[in-house]
Structures are given as structure tokens and as C-alpha cells.
């Protein structure tokens, strides 16, 4: 992988002129903004705030809101929670407020009636936002006031939830049905991989690394619409930066972004987003959040299906079900095989001297429909196996939907999919878990006729006319004389097997290592997934 991006999250864009069956279209965003904004929101009832001292209470209807406000100039980064709590026939209004990342202060007001509780809740909402609760569907932001954070209401459990279904009994009570779980059909390394890429702990770690306040945007409640608002806020910062706006304006716009997407900076002043690199980093962060939301949605749909099939009482192993969600075949590559040895040599010859790791496992990847899509470029020669590093948090989304080009993605060589011929280049983009486990992809890329550049060109959206790919030529390249040609589905594919050597022809290039770009997603096919221990 290449340029200044930590995320592999991109969006699927259908190739012009190519007809794709409805069934074959990946379930992802055609436009990061419009698809996110138009996506439906879950309506599962909200839970009582964990800090609320009420026992056996419930949130009354949808009287629940999370508010946020960031003002960099005054070093404000604060939240406000308002809930109407119902306990049998008694009602109370719960308020908790403070700096993002802290428990803060709280107040529980007991009310004489439901109407009084509603009035208390609605008055507090109006005081804090300058909006009427009845008009919340058309919320308007006001300067100096809190903004409502749009969350999907859903389950956020640390453990496995027991599922109950209604069965025919004399008294008609809900009873728990005991499930018989089938043995897992996956080998142990694949079980561990599937468990990792769907792990809630891993998703939380990834979000915390990005300073996202997981209490305000918790797993299972990430809102597509809120992520879309974040993109809009960044685009406004980008326009302001391009017009060379005053720092005060960028400060206000950055405050708005942090208000929409709550960040935990502790007691530190939130940083102003005032560079193109800073904007792109935040866009990449939102792309990771979107892919985490996708993985969570996949699992939510799986749980719904499980509930519908509960009466059958025999269910597949949970890891088998997660594996099936990927619509992808993963075949463990034996370490004694020739293909494993070729991959290991590729790693060893081009790896970083500074970020050391060992290969734990290698899987051959066969994504549903990807082979058919890739076959559209059967006339293109010049095929190579190239690296792509990524964040563990987006691996499930990549296996499900492939490597994608999101409208908001970008880098030094424009908006495309980035690959590298040197493992060390892509290693820099691997975001690991707390246990130092990382994931990399090795991909077959149909490069065809290459257009070479030696200077940055972030405006690229396609290869120039007459070319099929763009290669930002680096000052080094794996020794071409050591290249190995292998056969993949009847096509000759080049795999680097030599150490990087200087390329005199490109000794004045702005790129130290080469970066390979395609601007059509169908020009690549994921061939291998590597699990690494750093």
C-alpha cells in the first residue's frame, strides 16, 4: 500500500460500461455521503445510562438524547445526556454532563407525573440545544449550544446475549429455548482469524486509538448518518483551507467536526484541523468507522436470523456463521508448500529493517464474484502480486466487499487503490491490535500499460488516456532480475523475489519506494491474506 493513509476503507464504484448483475453488486456505499445519509436507522429501544442509579428502570419511549459540544478556543469538549426514566408508575428525569471521556456530574429529578417528566426533559433539551424536542427530526445547530449526536439504538453487550422466543405453553410465558450448537467446521487458525476480525474488543481498540469517544459512539450504535455529517464537516474545513481562511475560522469548523464526531482528548485542547494531511487523516478515520459499522451490521443481521431459526434448536457454530457472512473462501496455505515459500521469500527480501514481524499464517482468498469481475480484464498483461497494508478493523469489510475506492479517499497519487512492490512500504500502513497482530493482503493486479510519474499528483482519478495504471516510480525497486513468474488461473503473474536495489533512472524521484495505482476496482483480485505477529 502507499501514500499518507492508514485506512484501506474505500467504496465500491462500478466500472463504466460494464453491466453487473444486481446479485453481484457488493453491499457497500456507492457514494460515501449519500448512501450513508440515506441508510435506515435501527429503532431498538435505548438503554438507561450506565451511571444512572435507578434500579429496574427503562427509558420512556424515545425520550433519550446524547448531546455534544466542542469549542477549541475555550478548550471546551463536553457532553450532556438527558433521559426520561420510567419505573412502573413513577417517572424521573436523568441528566449527566461533563468533559468527553470523564464520568462528569449528574442529577436525578423525581417527577410527580409523566407529563411533568416530559416537560422537564423537553425544557432541558430546549435550554441546551435551542431546539424543540418535537422538531428533533429537523435538528438545527446553533452557535454556543449543544448538538445532538445521532446514534443507532441497538444492543451493546460485552458477553453473549441469551435469546428467548415465544413457545406454546399453557400460560403463554416467554421461555428460553436451549440451542444445540454444531461443532465448528473451520480449522483452528481460521477460527482465530474470524474471531479476531469480528471482535468487539478489537473494534473498540481501533476507535480508541483514533481518540474516538466510544461511550458517545459505541459499537452497535455507530450511526451512518452521523458519519456522513462528519464527512460534510471535513469538506467544509477543506473548502475553507483552500480559500486560505483565517485560523479562527478553521478553529470554529474544527470545533464543529469534534462536536459531530466526539473525540476524547482528555484535558488537552482539541487540535485545529488546518492541513490537507490532517483532513485526509480524519476522512480515513471516518472510513474506518464506516467499515466497523458494516461489520457490526453484518453481525446484527446474523443475530436476527438466529432468532428466527431458534425453534429449530440446532444452530451452526457462531464462528461458522461469521465466516459465512464474509461470502469468501479462506484456505490455509501449508508452510511446506511452494506458494508459501514464494510468499515468505517476497516478505523476507522486501521487509522493513525497523518494524519486525513473523508470519503466523497465510490464507488463499477466493471472494465470491471477484474472479468473474477480474476476468473482464483478461486482455491485460503485466500482472503482479503486490502488497496492501491495512487496519485490522476493516478486514471483515474488505473480505466482504473487496478493496474499494471511496469518494473521500485520496493520497499522493490521487483517488485509487494503492499497492506496493516492497513489503516494507505496506507494513507502514498496518494498524495492529493490542496484542500486536496485524493483517496484510497480497493481491494480483492487472497493471496493463503503466504511466510512470516521479512527482505527487493527488488530482488523479483515472489513468491517463491510453494507459491502464499509474506507477509512482521509487528510487528503489525489488531486483527485477530475481522476479519469478507464476501461473494463476492460466495467467502469468510476476512475483518479486529479490532485494530492493537503486533505480538510477528514477534517482530524482520524490518517491523512495514505488507505489502502484489502479483506478478501477475490477483490476485487482485479492489472492492472499497474511496474519502477522509484530
Model confidence over 493-514: pLDDT tens digits? 999 999 999 999 999 999 999 9
The third-level CATH classification (topology) of the domain covering 22-30+324-533 is: Phosphoenolpyruvate Carboxykinase; domain 3 (3.90.228)
pLDDT at 177: 54
- The three cell numbers of residue 409 are 479517499
pLDDT at 39: 47
Check whether 165 has a pLDDT greater than 60.
Answer: no
Question: Which one-letter DSSP state was computed for residue 213?
Answer: -
Average pLDDT over residues 351-373: 96
pLDDT at 307: 58
Residues of the chain with CATH 3.90.228.10: 22-30+324-533
CA distances 201 to 196, 216, 361, Å, are 9, 16, 22
- pLDDT band for 309, please (50, 70, 90 cuts): low
Please say whether the dihedral angle defined by the alpha carbons of residues 343, 345, 349 and 352, taken in this order, is positive or negative.
positive
Average pLDDT over residues 84-101: 93
Picking from 110-124, 143-157, 322-336, 364-378, which range would have the lowest pLDDT averaged per residue?
143-157
pLDDT at 158: 38
Check whether 533 has a pLDDT greater than 90.
Answer: yes
Burial of residue 466, with CB atoms counted within 10 A of its CB: 0-12 exposed, 13-18 middle, 19 or more buried: exposed
Percent of the chain with pLDDT strictly greater than 90: 67
pLDDT per residue as tens digits for the range 368-387: 999 999 999 999 999 999 99
pLDDT at 44: 54
Q: E strand or H helix at 61, and its extent?
A: strand 58-71
- Burial 182-218, CB ≥16 within 10 A → b, else e: eebebeeebbbbbebbbbbebbbbbbebbbbbbbbbb
**Check whether domain 167-319 has CATH 1.10.3720.10, yes or no:** no
pLDDT at 24: 38
In which residue are the cell numbers 444486481 written?
Answer: 22
CA distance 238 to 230: 12
pLDDT at 226: 86
The third-level CATH classification (topology) of the domain covering 58-148 is: q64v53_bacfr protein fold (2.20.140)
Question: Which one-letter DSSP state was computed for residue 73?
Answer: T
CB 383 within 8 A of CB 446: yes
Question: Which one-letter DSSP state was computed for residue 158?
Answer: S
Burial of residue 531, with CB atoms counted within 10 A of its CB: 0-12 exposed, 13-18 middle, 19 or more buried: buried
Residues of the chain with CATH 2.20.140: 58-148
CA distances 155 to 43, 219, 300, 307, 416, Å, are 11, 9, 9, 14, 36
pLDDT at 13: 30
Burial of residue 51, with CB atoms counted within 10 A of its CB: 0-12 exposed, 13-18 middle, 19 or more buried: exposed
Picking from 125-134, 186-195, 314-323, 462-471, which range would have the lowest pLDDT averaged per residue?
314-323
Percent of the chain with pLDDT strictly greater than 70: 84
pLDDT at 163: 38
- The three cell numbers of residue 172 are 403463554
pTM for the predicted model, two decimal places: 0.77
pLDDT at 155: 43
Nearest to 278 by CA among 244, 228, 242, 234: 234
Residues of the chain with CATH 1.20.142.10: 167-319
Check whether 40 has a pLDDT greater than 90.
Answer: no
Contacts of 259 (CB under 8 A, 6+ apart): 68, 69, 70, 147
The pLDDT mean for the chain works out to 85
Helix or strand or coil: residue 418? strand
- For the residues of 489-519, what is the DSSP string, one character each? TTEEEEE--S-EEE-GGGTT-SEEE-EEEES
CA distance 101 to 264: 5
Amino acid at each position: 500500500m502507499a501514500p499518507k493513509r492508514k485506512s484501506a476503507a474505500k467504496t465500491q464504484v462500478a466500472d463504466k460500461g460494464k453491466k453487473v448483475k444486481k446479485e453481484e453488486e457488493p453491499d457497500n456505499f456507492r457514494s460515501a455521503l449519500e448512501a450513508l445519509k440515506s441508510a435506515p436507522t435501527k429503532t431498538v429501544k435505548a438503554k438507561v445510562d450506565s451511571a444512572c442509579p435507578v434500579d429496574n428502570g427503562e427509558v420512556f419511549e424515545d425520550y433519550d438524547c446524547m448531546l455534544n459540544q466542542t469549542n477549541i478556543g475555550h478548550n471546551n469538549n463536553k457532553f450532556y445526556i438527558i433521559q426520561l426514566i420510567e419505573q412502573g408508575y413513577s417517572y424521573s428525569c436523568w441528566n449527566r454532563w461533563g468533559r468527553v471521556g470523564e464520568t462528569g456530574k449528574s442529577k436525578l429529578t423525581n417527577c410527580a407525573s409523566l407529563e411533568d417528566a416530559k416537560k422537564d426533559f423537553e425544557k432541558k433539551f430546549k435550554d441546551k440545544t435551542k431546539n424543540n424536542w418535537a422538531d428533533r427530526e429537523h435538528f438545527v445547530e446553533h452557535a454556543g449550544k449543544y448538538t445532538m449526536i445521532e446514534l443507532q439504538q441497538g444492543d451493546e453487550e460485552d458477553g453473549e446475549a441469551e435469546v428467548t422466543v415465544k413457545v406454546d405453553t399453557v400460560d403463554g410465558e416467554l421461555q428460553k429455548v436451549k440451542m444445540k450448537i454444531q461443532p465448528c467446521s473451520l480449522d483452528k487458525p481460521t477460527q482465530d482469524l474470524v474471531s479476531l476480525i469480528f471482535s468487539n474488543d478489537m473494534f473498540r481498540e481501533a476507535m480508541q486509538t483514533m481518540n474516538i469517544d466510544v461511550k458517545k459512539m459505541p459499537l452497535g450504535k455507530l450511526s451512518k448518518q452521523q458519519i456522513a455529517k462528519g464527512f460534510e464537516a471535513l469538506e467544509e474545513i477543506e473548502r475553507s483551507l483552500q480559500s486560505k481562511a483565517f485560523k479562527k475560522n478553521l478553529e470554529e469548523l474544527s470545533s464543529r467536526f469534534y462536536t459531530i464526531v466526539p473525540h476524547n482528548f482528555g484535558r488537552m485542547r482539541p487540535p485545529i484541523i488546518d492541513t490537507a494531511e490532517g483532513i485526509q487523516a480524519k476522512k480515513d478515520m471516518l472510513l474506518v468507522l464506516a467499515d466497523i459499522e458494516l461489520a457490526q451490521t453484518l453481525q446484527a443481521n446474523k443475530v436476527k436470523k438466529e432468532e428466527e431459526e431458534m425453534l429449530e434448536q440446532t444452530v451452526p457454530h457462531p464462528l461458522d456463521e461469521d465466516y459465512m457472512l464474509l461470502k469468501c473462501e479462506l484456505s490455509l496455505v501449508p508452510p511446506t508448500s511452494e506458494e508459501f515459500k514464494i510468499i515468505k521469500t517476497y516478505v523476507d527480501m522486501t521487509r522493513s529493517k525497523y518494524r519486525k514481524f513473523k508470519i503466523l499464517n497465510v490464507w488463499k482468498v477466493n471472494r465470491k464474484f471477484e474472479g468473474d469481475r477480474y476476468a473482464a480484464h483478461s486482455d491485460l498483461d503485466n500482472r503482479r502480486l503486490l502488497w496492501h497494508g491495512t487496519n485490522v478493523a476493516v478486514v471483515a469489510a474488505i473480505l466482504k466487499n473487496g478493496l474499494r475506492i471511496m469518494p473521500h479517499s485520496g493520497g499522493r497519487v490521487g483517488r485509487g487503490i494503492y499497492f506496493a512492490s516492497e513489503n516494507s512500504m505496506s507494513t507502514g500502513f498496518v494498524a495492529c491490535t493490542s496484542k500486536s497482530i496485524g493483517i496484510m493482503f497480497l493481491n494480483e493486479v492487472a497493471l496493463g500499460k503503466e504511466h510512470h510519474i516521479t512527482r505527487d499528483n493527488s488530482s488523479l482519478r483515472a489513468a491517463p488516456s491510453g494507459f491502464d495504471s499509474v506507477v509512482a516510480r521509487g528510487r528503489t525497486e525489488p531486483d527485477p532480475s530475481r522476479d519469478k513468474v507464476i501461473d494463476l488461473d492460466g495467467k502469468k503473474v510476476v512475483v518479486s523475489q529479490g532485494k530492493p536495489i537503486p533505480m538510477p533512472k528514477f534517482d530524482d524521484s520524490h518517491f523512495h519506494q514505488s507505489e502502484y495505482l489502479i483506478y478501477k476496482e475490477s483490476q485487482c483480485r485479492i489472492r492472499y491474506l497474511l496474519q502477522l505477529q509484530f
